[in-house]
Amino acid sequence: MNNYNSNGSKKIILLLILIALFLNLFIHSSSNKMSYGFTVTVLSLLFVCVLVVFGTSVTYHETLPAVLSTSYTHLVILGYFAFHDFFEKKENMFWFIRLTICTCFAFILLQVIQWFFFKFTGTLFLSYTSFGSYFIDKTGKFYEAGEFVTFAQAVFVFSHVLTRSSFSIKDYLFILLNLFYCFFVNQGRVGLIIFLSFLLIYYVFFLNMKYKSLFKIIILPISLIVTSWLAVKLFEYFNFTSGTNVASYTVRTLEIQYYLASSSLNGWFGIGFPSEINYYYLLHGSSNLLYGGLYSISDVGIVGFIGQFGYIGIMFILILIAQLLISINSSRNKAASFLLIFFVLAQFGSLFPTDSPRILFFSITLIMIDFSKKYEVNQNVRNSQEIVNV
C-alpha cells in the first residue's frame, strides 16, 4: 500500500485498465447485462480533461507529452468501462468485496502492530515512503493508504446493507479494529467521521426494516436529533477550528480562497496541468505562506477541482450529481445505493473522488452503484451463501 501512489504504480494500473478495455472488445457480454448508468459522467470527465490538457499546453507553452505526464491519472476513470462487465456477475462482485475487506483487515492489523511498536521503540519495521516516514516521526500519524481504508469501510457496510445481513461477532471485531485505527493510528478526523456515518446509515436502514410503521413517526426524528448532537460533539472534540488545529484550519481557509480565485485564471479553465517544476508556486501558492505551509489542490476537495479545471469542470460536477440522483431513484436497493452515493459526495469536502489516489476507487464505486440497482435480495434466505461476511 505504501507504493500505491507512486508514479510507477499509477502507470501500471492505467496499463492494466487499457489492457482490460482491449480484451473487452473480444469478449461477448452476458445477456443479463448490467446497465452503464454513469457513461455520461465518465465521458464528461474525459472530455473536460482533454480540453484542459490542450488549454494548458497552449497557455503555458508546454508540449502535450509534458502536460499528459501531469494529467494522465484521470484516464484511470476508464476503469469504469474496463471492469464493468466483470462485475455484472454476482460471484465476481462478492469475490471483490471479500478480497477488499480481508486486505483491509490485514493492512490495518499490521498498521496497529507497527503503531504499538513505534510507540514503545521509536522504530519502524514496515516500509513507508520517505514522506510517510517523515510524517510519522514528526506527528505520529500513519496516514498512508488512508484512501483505501475508507473505501474498504464503505465496501464493508455496503455489502451488509445490500444483502440485508446483520453484523456477526467477526464484523464487530473488524469495526472495532477500524475505529482504533482511525482514532489512534491514522488520526484522520474526516475519515473517522465518514466511517461513523457509514455505520449510522446501516443502523438507520435496519431500524427502518424492523420497525417500519414507527420509523417515520418516532425513530427517524430521534435519529436525526441524536445524529445532530453527536455531530456537534465530534466537531467540538476534534477542535477543527481552534486549539492545536487552528493552523491547519487557517491554511485550509486560505487554500479555499486561493483556488477559488484561480478558477478563472485562464478564462474558461483554471490552473490546469502545468509542470510542477516550472510552475511550483502557481500550483502551491506563494513562497511566503502563513505557518510556512504549502497549498495543495487535493486538500480542499471540490474547491481544488474547480481551481484546477475552472468553470468547465463544473459541467462534470453537475452531471455526476444528476446521475447519482437518477441512480438512486431507479435502484432496487436504495439504501445500498444511498450509502455509496454518500461516500462519493462526502469526499467533496476535502478528498475529491477524481484525485489520483482515489480515482480508481471512484470508478469501482460507480460500478457498485450500478450493481446495487439490479441486485435482488432473497427475502426468505437470511444466511445463504449470498451473504458477505468478513
Question: Cα(124)–Cα(122) distance, rounded to whole angstroms?
Answer: 7
Outline where DSSP puts E strands in 146-191: none
pLDDT along the chain (390 residues), means of 10: 61 89 72 79 96 95 92 94 91 95 95 91 83 79 87 95 91 93 84 87 79 60 66 61 60 86 90 91 70 74 93 94 92 91 90 90 96 74 46
pLDDT reported for residue 205: 83
Could you give the C-alpha distances from 382 to 4, 97, 165, 305, 385, in angstroms and in order? 37, 18, 7, 43, 9
Question: Cα(59)–Cα(272) distance, rounded to whole angstroms?
Answer: 9
pLDDT reported for residue 6: 61
Q: Using CA atoms in the order 14, 159, 208, 333, what is the torsion angle rounded to 10 degrees?
A: 60
Question: Cα(207)–Cα(337) distance, rounded to whole angstroms?
Answer: 17
Instruction: Provide the grid cell at 104.
Output: 483491509
How large is the C-alpha radius of gyration of the chain? 22
Which H or E run includes 312? helix 311-329
Cβ atoms < 10 Å from Cβ of 94? 17
Q: Which residues contact 382 (CB under 8 A, 6 or more apart)?
A: 164, 165
Distance of CA 349 to the CA centre of its chain: 11
pTM equals 0.88
pLDDT reported for residue 235: 61
Question: Cα(52)–Cα(333) distance, rounded to whole angstroms?
Answer: 37
pLDDT reported for residue 132: 78
Question: Cα(38)–Cα(87) distance, rounded to whole angstroms?
Answer: 15
Distance of CA 194 to the CA centre of its chain: 10
Instruction: Provide the grid cell at 152.
Output: 474498504
Q: Which residues contact 78 (CB under 8 A, 6 or more apart)?
A: 17, 18, 21, 42, 46, 363
Helices 146-163 and 90-121 cross at an angle (nearest 10°) of 140
